A and B are shown apart, each in its own frame.
Chain A
Amino acid sequence: MTIALQCDRISKVFYEKDETKATGTPLSYRRLFRRERVPVYAVRETSFTVEKGEIFGILGPNGSGKSTLIRIIATLLYPDEGTVTVFGNDVVKQQLEVRRMINRVSVEAAFFKKLSAIENLNYAARLYGVNTKIARQRSLEILQRLGFKEQKAFVSLENLSRGMQQKVAIARALFTAPVLLLLDEPTTGLDPKSKRDVQDFVKEVQEKHDATIILTTHDMAEAERLCDRVAIIDDGRFVALDTPAGLKRKLQSPQNPAPTMDDVFFALTGKDLADELPDLED
């Protein structure tokens, strides 16, 4: 068994302005020059390991710490405490080595929107040291596989739908052949057909390329379909970690003999999934 990702007791705290003290108090030196800040615990002493070739899901309400966790693994954020290693490389001390092994698709497609898909992909190819011709060929293959018409690859991304942009983001992440792929809500805001295309492709990538995938999602059906194991995070802590079937089994009772993943989510976080879905424009 090869460990792809190991997170050992990681914590992250942010300090945010205390808005409640901004109004109503008299004007003072302290209010003008020394902003009151309050700690916000994004991730608290979280530990887990992911095996090579596994699809590991992280489910949680908005603000529960999913994206913070992904950003720490992606070497964009230092943990305050604990260590994270990707195939044995520390994300803080061996950033370059880790960056060569990973790629990420975030909930918002991060592109130069004035540029076409091909121009954005060329940029990525040069950053990752992939020959631009090979990158173009691989990307077009992936895009075709995702139902993206070739001629659209030459159109400014700002003129493409969010679903199309997200497909380009997936192609960009995959043509570099990462051994650890971080998918941060990759299907949020996609139409059902696009969502299905992306999910099928993620499964295919795992099976054919032996990639390890960390997936955050709000979609319980997606988690159940794709993930080998699922962690449920709430208020910065993992409150459960098991296979989807295992999580549902734990909730089985005479009153609810066949619980769904939605039931699991509600039982563990005390939050209704419908209230937690992000309000994204298509």
Chain B
Amino acid sequence: MHKLLYELKATMAFVERHFNLAKRYLGWEIVDLVYILVNGLTIVLIGVGGGPQQMLYLAAGALLWEFLSVLFHEVSESVSWERWEGTIEYTFMAPIRRATHLFGMCFYAVIYGSIRTIFVLGGMALFFKFDLSQANLFGALVVLFCSSISFIGLGFMAAVLPLMSPEKGSQATHIFQAIVLLVSGVYYEVSVLPAWLQPFSVISPATYTLRAARAALLDGASLADIWPDLRILLLIGILLIPLGLKVFSIGERYAMKTGKLKRNG
């Protein structure tokens, strides 16, 4: 019990550290927030000709992708960040379990991603005056929670790339993220994808996230209605988190064998 408490407290090290960094990079944070808001508005404006439902469809895509990509990015880039700052050796020799380190990054990513998404949602609501009276907002939040679990697992697996390849690993995580964006129906139905790409949408958790969240937001679908998608998301998450931790631990052992667990330069 004492050990568990110790590890739980240690996760806060990463949350606090990253919020302190966000404070120090406040100018950049503001620039980034303005950019993602304008980007979201631009995407929704594409759907003006299709009416409010089309606009809400695109808004849901933009908001969910903003949240999921931040979550994935913060987790998968956690190693690159440490390497770039020169703290990788210090953090990796701390007396905590690797899962504590990675879950600490996840807690931060969930809080940080939620703040950004709420900001964009507020901006969109003011700009377009969306009618959300029929939407099941609680259902959409449940979808977000379930999809976070599977994206955290994906992030763990992607985080191993910068660990194994200091020079190219970080770029590889961006390719991974881009493929998820392409196949998951963020701004369009997956049925418009070429036939050979469609199987990839079946294995992407973002596909189920978007489908369930849109059903809750656009049609006011209840939790019972979206349960089939939630079940798949939870199942993917339950499989991906231990798998992601295992993959990361194999990658860490490889890095410690080959001497890649060190700062750049």
Contact = CB atoms under 8 A, between A and B. Distances in A.
Interface of A: 14-15, 68, 71, 74-78, 96, 99-100, 102, 104, 106, 108, 110-115, 119, 122-124, 126-129, 156
Interface residues on B, range: 20 to 34
Interface string B162-183: 0000000000000000000000
B97 A112 contact: no
A129 B9 contact: yes
A78 to B, nearest CB: 5
A76 B93 contact: yes
The 8 closest A-B pairs by CB, nearest first: A126-B13, A99-B95, A127-B94, A114-B24, A100-B95, A110-B90, A123-B17, A119-B20
Contacts of B90: 104, 110, 124
Interface string B228-256: 00000000000000000000000001001
B17 A115 contact: yes
Interface in B98-113: none
A68 B259 CA distance: 9
Given A123-B13, A126-B12, A126-B16, A74 B89 contact: yes
**Majority DSSP secondary structure for residues of B touching A:** helix
Nearest to A156: B24
B89 A76 contact: yes
Contacts of A77: 256, 259, 261
Given A104-B89, A122-B16, 20 more contacts: A14-B259, A68-B259, A76-B92, A76-B262, A77-B256, A78-B253, A99-B93, A108-B263, A110-B89, A111-B85, A112-B21, A112-B85, A115-B17, A115-B20, A115-B24, A119-B17, A127-B10, A127-B91, A128-B95, A129-B95
Interface of B: 6, 9-10, 12-13, 16-17, 20-21, 24-25, 85-97, 253, 256-259, 261-263
A122 B13 CA distance: 8
A132 to B, nearest CB: 9
B21 A115 contact: yes
B86 A108 contact: yes
Contacts of B258: 14-15
A75 B91 CA distance: 12
Contacts of A78: 253, 256-257
B19 to A, nearest CB: 10
A212 B263 CA distance: 26
A111 B105 CA distance: 17
12 contacts: A96-B97, A99-B95, A106-B89, A110-B87, A112-B85, A123-B13, A123-B17, A127-B13, A128-B95, A129-B9, A129-B10, A156-B24
Interface hub of A14, A74, A77, A96 (most chain B Cβ within 10 A): A77
Contacts of A111: 85-87
A74 B93 contact: yes
A119 B96 CA distance: 19
B163 to A, nearest CB: 13
Given A114-B24, A129-B6, A156-B24, A75 B93 contact: yes
A67 B6 CA distance: 31
A110 B13 contact: no
A124 B263 CA distance: 18
Given A76-B261, A77-B261, A126-B9, A104 B93 contact: yes
A108 B83 CA distance: 13
Contacts of B93: 74-76, 99, 102, 104
A112 B93 CA distance: 16
B256 A113 contact: no
Contacts of A104: 89-90, 93
A272 B97 CA distance: 44
A128 B87 contact: no
